C-alpha cells in the first residue's frame, strides 16, 4: 500500500467528479435550484469540497429514470447472469480505485485512510462479488398443493425485484454501507436512487462514475446528494419508491417508518447499538482486553456495532478495567495523517458536543472515570478514548448510544446476571462473549438478544453473513443471501393441470 495521500491530493481527486454534481439518468447535473452544501474536515474545520444539494424535484427526476429502467429498459431485460457480470465488473473497478475511495471517505470523516483501505474497501469489494454470485441464483420453489375444485394444479413461486429502492446512507463507513445496499439490490434486479450522507458525498459520486464505466445502464443507479430533511424525506414520501433501505440513527429510522408506513413501502432499517461485550473470569484476559478496546475505539467509536457496554465478572472487574484504561491511555490522538497517530477526531461538531455531554453525564451519575474525558485540542473535534468503571446499567452512559470512543464497564456476578444485564437494553445489534468455556459461550450467545454474536472475537462483519439488529437496532438484514432476498417480492403462481 502507498502511504496516505495528503488532504489536498484527496480534494484534487474529488474535484474530478464533475464538480460534485448529482448523478441522474447517467448524467452529472447540478441541483435543480442550484443549491450546494459544504463538506467540512473534522480535523481542520476547513471546507474541503462543495457538493450539490438536491431537491424534491431532483428526487422525482431520479425516480423516473430508475422507474424507466425497471419498467421496460435494458436492465429489465437482462438475465441474472448478465447483472452478475456487471456487478463483478464494478467490483473490479472499485478494487482498482480502492485507495482513492478510502482516501475520500477518510478525508470527509477525519479518519486515517489506513483503516478504510484495510477494512472498508476489501469488505465493500467482497460484498459486491458475493452479491454478484447470487444474481443468477435467485430461485423460486415448487410447492405441492391439493388442487383446485378436485382438479390437479401445480404451484410455484418467483422472486421478483421489489422495484425502485430509495437507499439512505450514514457517514461513518459510507462506501462500505453503500455497497451493502448496492450489490444486493442490483443482484435482485432493482434500480436505485441513493442518498449519501451530506458529510460524505465524495465516494458515492466516484461510485457513480464506476457504474458508468462498468456498463451498468444509465438510470439504474442514481445518486442525489443533499440534506436528509430534504432529499431523504422526499425519497420516503415519493410514490414511485417501492422500498426504503436506511442505515442511520433510530430517531431518523422512526421518522422514516412514520412517513413510509402509511404508503406501504417496504422498509429495512439498520440502526444504532449499545452492544455488550461480556467478559467472564475464565477468558484469556489479554486477548479480551485487546478485543474490547478495538470494539470500543475502532473508527473513534463511531460504529453501530461498537461494544461500548463492557460487562465484566466481578472478580476480575478491577483488573480488567485497569487493562482497558491502559489501552485507552496508550492511544495517540491527533491528525490521522500524522505519523504514529492511531485515532482522529469524531466526525461532526454536533457529534463532538454529544459525546462530551455524555461524558459529563457519566461523571454526574457517579461512574468512575478511569481514562480520557478531557478535550486536548483547540482545533478539530478530538475526544480522548474514555473509560468509565463501576457503572450501573441504568445510567445514560450504559443505555444510550454515544457514538464516540467511550466505554462503560459494568460488573456482574453470575452467567444469569450477565445475560439479564446484556438484554436490559432497547438495542440488540451485536454482542461479544469472552470465555474459555465452550458450553457457556454457546449458552450465552444463544440467550443474548442481538443480530450477531462474536465468541472470543469482536463483531465479525462479513459479506456472507446476515447483518442487522433487533429492537431499536433495526428491522431486516443486509448482506449474505438474506440481504439479496430483502430486495425481492415472492409471487405464487398456480396452473390448473386439467383440460
Question: Any idea which residues carry the catalytic annotation?
Answer: 270, 304
C-alpha–C-alpha distance, residues 26 and 208, integer Å? 8
Q: How far is the CB of 416 from ligand NAD (least distance, A)?
A: 28
Spell out, one character per residue from 128 to 167, where the chain touches ligand NAD: x when CB under 6 A holds, - when not. ----------------------------------------
Spell out, one character per residue from 376 to 415, where the chain touches ligand NAD: x when CB under 6 A holds, - when not. -------------------------x-x------------
Pick from 210, 256, 310, 486 the residue near ligand NAD by CB under 6 A.
Answer: 256
Q: How far is the CB of 239 from ligand NAD (least distance, A)?
A: 16
Asked whether position 84 contacts ligand NAD by CB under 6 A, the answer is no
Pick from 170, 430, 471, 476 the residue near ligand NAD by CB under 6 A.
Answer: 170
Partner residues linked to 155 by β-bridges: 143, 494
* Number of residues lying near ligand NAD (CB under 6 A): 29
96: which residues sit within 8 A by CB, 6+ positions away?
none
Cell 460488573 belongs to: 411
Asked whether position 349 contacts ligand NAD by CB under 6 A, the answer is no
C-alpha–C-alpha distance, residues 27 and 277, integer Å? 47
- Measured over the CA atoms of residue 379, residue 115, residue 104 and residue 235, the dihedral's sign is negative
Select from 147-155, 171-179, 355-363, 385-393 the region that touches ligand NAD (CB under 6 A): 171-179
> In the range 259-288, which residues lie near ligand NAD by CB under 6 A?
270-273
Spell out, one character per residue from 186 to 215, where the chain touches ligand NAD: x when CB under 6 A holds, - when not. ---------x-xx-----------------
Q: 475: alpha, beta or left, given left = phi > 0 and alpha = psi -120 to 50?
A: beta
C-alpha–C-alpha distance, residues 146 and 497, integer Å? 12
Pick from 252, 279, 310, 444 the residue near ligand NAD by CB under 6 A.
Answer: 252
Asked whether position 255 contacts ligand NAD by CB under 6 A, the answer is yes
Beta strands in 196-275 (DSSP E): 221-223, 243-247, 266-270
Q: Catalogue the long-range contacts made by 257-260 (C-beta closer than 8 Å, 24 or more residues apart).
A: 259/233, 260/236
- Measured over the CA atoms of residue 436, residue 438, residue 439 and residue 442, the dihedral's sign is positive
Pick from 86, 167, 304, 431 the residue near ligand NAD by CB under 6 A.
Answer: 304
Asked whether position 248 contacts ligand NAD by CB under 6 A, the answer is yes
Tally helices (H) and strands (E) across the chain.
Answer: 18, 20
Q: 474: alpha, beta or left, given left = phi > 0 and alpha = psi -120 to 50?
A: left
Asked whether position 174 contacts ligand NAD by CB under 6 A, the answer is no
C-alpha–C-alpha distance, residues 387 and 310, integer Å? 10
- Closest CB to ligand NAD among 249 and 437? 249
Helix (H) or strand (E) holding 406: strand 406-412
Residues that bind ligand NAD in the complex, under the rule CB under 6 A = 168-172, 177, 195, 197-198, 228-229, 232-233, 236, 247-249, 252, 255-256, 270-273, 304, 401, 403, 429, 474
Amino acid at each position: 500500500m502507498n502511504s496516505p495521500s495528503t488532504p489536498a491530493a484527496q480534494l484534487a481527486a474529488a474535484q474530478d467528479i464533475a464538480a460534485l454534481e448529482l448523478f441522474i439518468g447517467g448524467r452529472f447535473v447540478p441541483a435543480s435550484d442550484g443549491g450546494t452544501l459544504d463538506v467540512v474536515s473534522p480535523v481542520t474545520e476547513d471546507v474541503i469540497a462543495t457538493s450539490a444539494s438536491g431537491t424534491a424535484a431532483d428526487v422525482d427526476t431520479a425516480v423516473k429514470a430508475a422507474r424507466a429502467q425497471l419498467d421496460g429498459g435494458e436492465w429489465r431485460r437482462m438475465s441474472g447472469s448478465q447483472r452478475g457480470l456487471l456487478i463483478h465488473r464494478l467490483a473490479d473497478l472499485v478494487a482498482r480505485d480502492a485507495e482513492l475511495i478510502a482516501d475520500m471517505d477518510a478525508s470527509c470523516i477525519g479518519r486515517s485512510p489506513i483503516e478504510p483501505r484495510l477494512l472498508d474497501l476489501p469488505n465493500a469489494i467482497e460484498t459486491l462479488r458475493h452479491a454478484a454470485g447470487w444474481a443468477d441464483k435467485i430461485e423460486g420453489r415448487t410447492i405441492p398443493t391439493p388442487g383446485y375444485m378436485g382438479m390437479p394444479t401445480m404451484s410455484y413461486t418467483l422472486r421478483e425485484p421489489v422495484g425502485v429502492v430509495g437507499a439512505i446512507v450514514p457517514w461513518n463507513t459510507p462506501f462500505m454501507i453503500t455497497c451493502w445496499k448496492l450489490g444486493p439490490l442490483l443482484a435482485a434486479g432493482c434500480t436505485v436512487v441513493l442518498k449519501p450522507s451530506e458529510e460524505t458525498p465524495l465516494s458515492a459520486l466516484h461510485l457513480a462514475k464506476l457504474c458508468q464505466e462498468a456498463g451498468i445502464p444509465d438510470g439504474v443507479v442514481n445518486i442525489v446528494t443533499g440534506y436528509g430533511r430534504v432529499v431523504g424525506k422526499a425519497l420516503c414520501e415519493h410514490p414511485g419508491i417501492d422500498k426504503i433501505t436506511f442505515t442511520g440513527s433510530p430517531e431518523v429510522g422512526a421518522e422514516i417508518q412514520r412517513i413510509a408506513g402509511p404508503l406501504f413501502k417496504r422498509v429495512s432499517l439498520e440502526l444504532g447499538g449499545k452492544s455488550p461485550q461480556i467478559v467472564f473470569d475464565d477468558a484469556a484476559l489479554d486477548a479480551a482486553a485487546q478485543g474490547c478496546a478495538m470494539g470500543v475505539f475502532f473508527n473513534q467509536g463511531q460504529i453501530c456495532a461498537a461494544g461500548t457496554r463492557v460487562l465484566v465478572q466481578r472478580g476480575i472487574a478491577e483488573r480488567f478495567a485497569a487493562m482497558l484504561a491502559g489501552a485507552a491511555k496508550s492511544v495517540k490522538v491527533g491528525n490521522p495523517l500524522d505519523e504514529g497517530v492511531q485515532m482522529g477526531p469524531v466526525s461532526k461538531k454536533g457529534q463532538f458536543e454529544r459525546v462530551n455531554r455524555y461524558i459529563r453525564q457519566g461523571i454526574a451519575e457517579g461512574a468512575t472515570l478511569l481514562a480520557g474525558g478531557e478535550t486536548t485540542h483547540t482545533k478539530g473535534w478530538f475526544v480522548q478514548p474514555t473509560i468509565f468503571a463501576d457503572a450501573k446499567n441504568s445510567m445514560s452512559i450504559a443505555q444510550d448510544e454515544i457514538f464516540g470512543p467511550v466505554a462503560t464497564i459494568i460488573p456482574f456476578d453470575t452467567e444469569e446476571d450477565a445475560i439479564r444485564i446484556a438484554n436490559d437494553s432497547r438495542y440488540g445489534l451485536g454482542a461479544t462473549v469472552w470465555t474459555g468455556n465452550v458450553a457457556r459461550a454457546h449458552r450465552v450467545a444463544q440467550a443474548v438478544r442481538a443480530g450477531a454474536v462474536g465468541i472470543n472475537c469482536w463483531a465479525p462483519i462479513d459479506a456472507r453473513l446476515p447483518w442487522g439488529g433487533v429492537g431499536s437496532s433495526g428491522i431486516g438484514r443486509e448482506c449474505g443471501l438474506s440481504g439479496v432476498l430483502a430486495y425481492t417480492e415472492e409471487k405464487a403462481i398456480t396452473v390448473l393441470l386439467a383440460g
